[in-house]
Amino acid sequence: MKLEILGSYGGNANFYKLTSFLIDDFLALDAGCLTTALNLDRQYQVTDIVISHSHMDHTGSLPYLIDNQFGLTESPLRIWSSPFVLDALRQHIFNDVIWPDFTKLPNESQPCMTLEPMSPLETIHIRHLRITPIPVNHIVPCCAFLVESTLSGAAILYTADTTNTDQIWEIANQKENLKGVIVDCSFPNNMTDLAIASGHMTPQLLAKDLKKLKRPCKIMIYHLKPSFDGKMTQELDDLGLELDYDIQGKVFEFTST
């Protein structure tokens, strides 16, 4: 399984790209920066996107991606998420006011984009990948994603935006093939109250949650706020854990061995 870190930050500035991960060139996890991180040819290869929650830093490039793909791909772009998120996309983005409703273009019988509902803990199959949404603890309804490859035999867990939570770690511990975890850490330790209130992690909160993970695997940190990048990386180093927070632009290959 190839995991490409297109954008790994919780804020937008020069170099700091918003959250998007690409698996095996065709499946995107969230859509913060798909059109700024991928050239047009690679954008055309994206056939499916799973969206963790409705916030702009995870959905913001969707309108531009479908606009770039319009009329140039064989099948409609499929957007997968919870009914709450899909309703938010319909009402607030693809509403013919902010952006055209591409679920009706060029016509309703042959749209260039479809919105596909997901249910918590119900696995969907997209080609050789199995994706299971797992509810997490954020300020709006949000799901983590467990992604398993039937080709490589490997699995990765993307926590999405969350503060301390339990179910994702319980499920992760059941997966012998778990090879990587992408986990939220957004604020420095002196902003713990804000982190909890907004549904995010600090380094100290992260350390508490990682104790629940009983399987050895690569831990990748995402969603650092650019304004606190230096302070947070020092606090993450101070934990004394094997964490990779310098992940943007990197490509990881995961196998079952």
Instruction: Give this prediction's pTM.
Output: 0.96
Per-residue pLDDT tens over the stretch 92-121: 999 999 999 999 999 988 999 999 999 999
Sequential DSSP letters for 174-239: T-TTEEEEEEE--S-GGGHHHHHHHT---HHHHHHHHTT--S--EEEEE-B-GGGHHHHHHHHHHT
Give the pLDDT of residue 242.
97
Which pLDDT belongs to residue 188?
98
The answer to whether residues 178 and 149 touch, using CB atoms and an 8 Å cutoff, is no
127: Cα separation from own chain's centroid? 19
- The percentage of residues in the chain with a pLDDT greater than 90, rounded to a whole number, is 96
Tokens in use for 125? 């199959």
140 — pLDDT class (breaks 50, 70, 90): very high
- Average per-residue pLDDT in the chain? 97
Give 182-236 pLDDT, tens digit per residue: 999 999 999 999 999 999 999 999 999 999 999 999 999 999 999 999 999 999 9
Q: What is the mean pLDDT of residues 130-136?
A: 99
Residue 53: name the closest of 89, 23, 96, 102 by CA. Answer: 89
Listed residue (193, 189, 181) closest to 243, CA to CA: 181
The answer to whether the CB of 122 falls within 8 A of the CB of 131 is no
Scanning 4-121, the segments in alpha helix (DSSP H) are 34-37, 40-45, 56-59, 62-69, 83-92
**How far apart are the C-alpha atoms of 114 and 102, rounded to whole Å?**
8
Q: Is the pLDDT of residue 35 over 90?
A: yes
Q: Decide: 31 and 63 in contact? Cβ < 8 Å.
A: no
- Say yes or no to pLDDT of 257 above 80: no
Give tens-digit pLDDT for 233-252: 999 999 999 999 999 999 99
The single-letter DSSP state of residue 102 is G
What is the rounded average pLDDT of the residues 161-168? 97
Full set of structural domains in the chain with CATH: 2-253 (3.60.15.10)
